Structure 1
Amino acid sequence: MPVEQTVEQVFREQYARAVAVLVRVFGDVDVAEEAVADAFTAAVQRWPEDGVPPSPAGWIITTARHRAIDRLRREASRDDRHAQAALLHARDEPLDVGAVSDDRLRLVFTCCHPALAPAAQVALTLRLVGGLSTAEIARAFLVPEPTMAQRLVRAKAKIRDARIPYRVPGEQDLPARLGPVLAVVYLVSTEGHTASAGDELARADLCAEGIRLGRLLHELLPDEPEVTGLLALMLLTESRRPARTTADGELVLLADQDRRRWDRALVAEGQALVRDCLRRGQPGPYQVQAAVSAVHSEAPTAADTDWRQVLALYDLLLALTPTPVVALNRAVAIAEVEGPAAGLALVDQLDLPGHLVHAVRADLLRRLDRRTEAAQAYAAALERVRNATERAFLERRLAEVHAVG
């Protein structure tokens, strides 16, 4: 593998870990981010000549620590109190570039502190833990990139100035802090499942990180049903990833997937967690979504799917979280139970940003043989899609509609 690709792979896989370790060491998010960025720049310059080190992650973290200390010493000499405080913090913290237990989970709780606005909590976690670029996060929030950059700067400054602690809260404080943490772990996993932009459909690193954080939360809070539900949902979603694309990287819809390629170990684990949730009898949004995935996982073929049960679950989910996204998913279930015309009538009532609502509408119109309108809906979806794999799929469907029409 070329060195440049190795650096890129290490960045994808180790950026969040490196930032989390440096935040623990220095107590400052900005210092950590800049030091890790400097370390990766150094890797691009030095690894082609020196070779890739035996422990790339350890090299990045050690180099980042040295860069941060050098920077802080320069700033501390100018009577910068933040730099002095970060240096003092660093002296008390071991580097530990070996196995990291919950540094990233601590970072999630730091990003999700109630002192930060909810949107800032999500954006900052996606940046630091998910490793998404500012541009990618801006697209996800449907705001200009400079606006998102300002939000991230303010959020990091708030953490520093308010001295928000870098730790997992005590047991008594965990339930109150749990909602935002679950939301951002879910979004990290969702971005991994279908990347908002880029050439690949999924990002395996983010899928793995979401599940890793979900397992840590489940160990911390084994009796919280929504924690169990979220972990189940992520496992069942991940189980389908091998079948979501062809060998050539083309998108395969759920109905057309070869279910023999699903990861049966993940299916079994996810189903067991869903059964645990059902025994508790305290339904929440993540548990209901996990139950929907479990219904799909139980069907040996797409034709065997119990769509009436799926619809009943979406009825419950819509009552729990009446959002346009849930309504769109419920409309898809209605289309399977009552026919595409019934589903289309519901979709036409929805006002959603992004490409998905147009793609769903196009598919329903295609099934109704309303080819001209379907082509217009596919074109509308193509104007909004940012993922290359999804774009290629929509282009193929549009070409098929034109060919028949």
Structure 2
Amino acid sequence: MTGALLRGLTPGVLGVLVRRGAPFAAAEDAVQDALVEALRTWPDDPPRDPKGWLVTVAWRRFLDATRAEAARRRREDLVDEEPAPGPAPAVDDTLQLYFLCAHPSLTPSSAVALTLRAVGGLTTRQIAQAYLVPEATMAQRISRAKRTVSGVRFDQPGDVATVLRVLYLVFNEGYSGDVDLAAEAIRLIRQLAASIDHPEVAGLLALMLLHHARRTTRTAPDGSLVPLADQDRTRWDTAAITEGVGVLQAALARDRLGEFQAQAAIAALHADAPTPEETDWVQIVEWYDELTRLTDNPVVRLNRAVAVGEADGPRAGLAALSTLDASLPRHTAVAAHLHERDGDLDTAARLYAEAAQKAPNLAERDHLTRQAARLNTRHH
């Protein structure tokens, strides 16, 4: 319980230090020191005001570090007097921290790492394990990111769209090491939704919940991929689906459509179908049309071609596919699927094998190889 509590308090404590005038990088280091001390002492001696305790300890650590530096004179105004211990202010600085960690001057990978560290309260080791990189590499990435944003004023307005893209990157990493990044992303987007009233924040929360509801059915016990049409829908998390649909409906009612709301609407239509055959593909195509209008993303057009193939037949899907760049990721796999639906098994088998060679990961490559083998076995 202590770990979860600390992670929830981290952004607020960091925000207090930064608002008092501590540079972001130094404040973040001081908060991490306070968290370590809390993990050591709280189990035996829990404080009555956890946030106030963390603010006091972190501020002292910041002052200690500041006094030890040669730049003390430049910071004399900050260190003249330590604020009196007491209840921490109720101001919620979480939103500003999200904006700071997703600053446009940062690369996506650096923004993700800094968000997980400063807002999520994860350790450098946990983040490194989750991203399968050495801890020293992740430490350097986070240090560079902190230096990059150290001169950014805390009260500058941020871009919600950038914050959402960063959180979606976290979510799509899924699970590795001892950190479940999909669950962590949902926790963070809930936290963001509590700080800002924005339909696209709600849209991303709905999208994450609807995707996460299908998580346990996406792979077989042996680790192989299970396509959506073959997943056991009785094992989908109905509570997450119900919540996701409710959040989405409230967001759509505000009539400020964005790409995450449109994606969530597509996910909701899949989740609402008791069987693959009952999927409302016509409405899904309409939502892909909306999504294309909003983003004009070639990957969206590729997914739309699949939906057209289901709604209007495989030849209509192939016609839609023919307008897209064949070098797009998954283009060959989609072509294989549509040719199989059209009965051209020789072409489909050849394309599945070709797609397997281009697959971005082992699980997808194995899945496509099995598809090619299945058709070759049946056909010959």
TM-score (norm. length: structure 2): 0.70
Matched residue of 2:150: which SS? helix
Which of 320, 335, 359 aligns to 2:309? It is 335
Aligned counterparts of 2:147 and 2:81: Cα–Cα separation in 1: 19
> Match for 1:160: what amino acid?
S
Superposition deviation, residue 259 in structure 1: 1.8
Superposition deviation, residue 328 in structure 1: 2.2
Equivalent position of 1:142 in the other structure: none
Superposition deviation, residue 324 in structure 1: 2.0
1:103-131: CA deviations, max 9, x gaps? 644421322457x4685656643664465
> Match for 1:394: what amino acid?
R
Change (3 A) 1:137 1:319: farther
TM alignment of 1:4-403, pairs within 5 A = 17=8, 20=11, 23-24=14-15, 26-27=17-18, 28-31=23-26, 34=29, 73=64, 76-81=67-72, 84=75, 88=79, 91-92=82-83, 104-112=94-102, 116=105, 119=108, 124-125=114-115, 128-129=118-119, 133=127, 153=143, 155-165=145-155, 177-192=159-174, 198=176, 203-217=181-195, 220-221=196-197, 224-247=198-221, 249-344=223-318, 346-347=320-321, 349-350=324-325, 356-357=330-331, 359-361=333-335, 363-364=337-338, 368-369=344-345, 370-381=348-359, 384-385=360-361, 391-392=362-363, 394-402=365-373
Superposition deviation, residue 302 in structure 1: 1.1
Whether contact under 8 Å (1:324, 1:352) holds in the other structure is: no
Matched residue of 1:378: which SS? helix
Deviates more, 1:372-381 or 1:199-208: 199-208
TM-score (norm. length: structure 1): 0.66
Matched residue of 2:243: which SS? helix
Superposition deviation, residue 334 in structure 1: 1.9
Whether contact under 8 Å (1:19, 1:32) holds in the other structure is: no
> Match for 2:64: what amino acid?
R
Whether contact under 8 Å (2:95, 2:192) holds in the other structure is: no
Superposition deviation, residue 365 in structure 1: 5.5
Superposition deviation, residue 289 in structure 1: 1.5
1:237-280: CA deviations, max 9, x gaps? 23223433445554332212222222222322322333334433
Aligned counterparts of 1:30 and 1:245: Cα–Cα separation in 2: 40
Alignment RMSD, CA only? 4.9
Give the number of the structure whose alpha-carbon radius of gyration is greater. 2
Segments of 5+ residues of structure 1 without an aligned counterpart are: 1-5, 140-144, 386-390
Whether contact under 8 Å (1:359, 1:377) holds in the other structure is: yes
Aligned counterparts of 1:101 and 1:244: Cα–Cα separation in 2: 41
Change (3 A) 1:403 1:308: closer
Change (3 A) 1:276 1:18: closer
> Match for 1:378: what amino acid?
A
Superposition deviation, residue 357 in structure 1: 4.8
Matched residue of 1:162: which SS? coil
1:28-67: CA deviations, max 9, x gaps? 4433555677789999xx99xx9x95799x99x9899979
Aligned counterparts of 1:292 and 1:138: Cα–Cα separation in 2: 31
Matched residue of 2:325: which SS? coil
> Match for 1:30: what amino acid?
A
Matched residue of 2:253: which SS? helix
Aligned counterparts of 1:113 and 1:318: Cα–Cα separation in 2: 26
Whether contact under 8 Å (2:6, 2:35) holds in the other structure is: no
Change (3 A) 1:274 1:66: closer
Whether contact under 8 Å (1:366, 1:401) holds in the other structure is: no
Change (3 A) 1:201 1:397: farther
1:79-123: CA deviations, max 9, x gaps? 2249957974994496989xx995644421322457x46856566
1:147-203: CA deviations, max 9, x gaps? x988865542243223424xxx8xxx6xx74333333333333334xx5xx479974
Equivalent position of 1:388 in the other structure: none
Segments of 5+ residues of structure 2 without an aligned counterpart are: none
Change (3 A) 1:399 1:204: same
Superposition deviation, residue 322 in structure 1: 0.5
Q: Percent identity?
A: 35
Deviates more, 1:293-302 or 1:361-370: 361-370
How many pairs does the alignment contain? 358
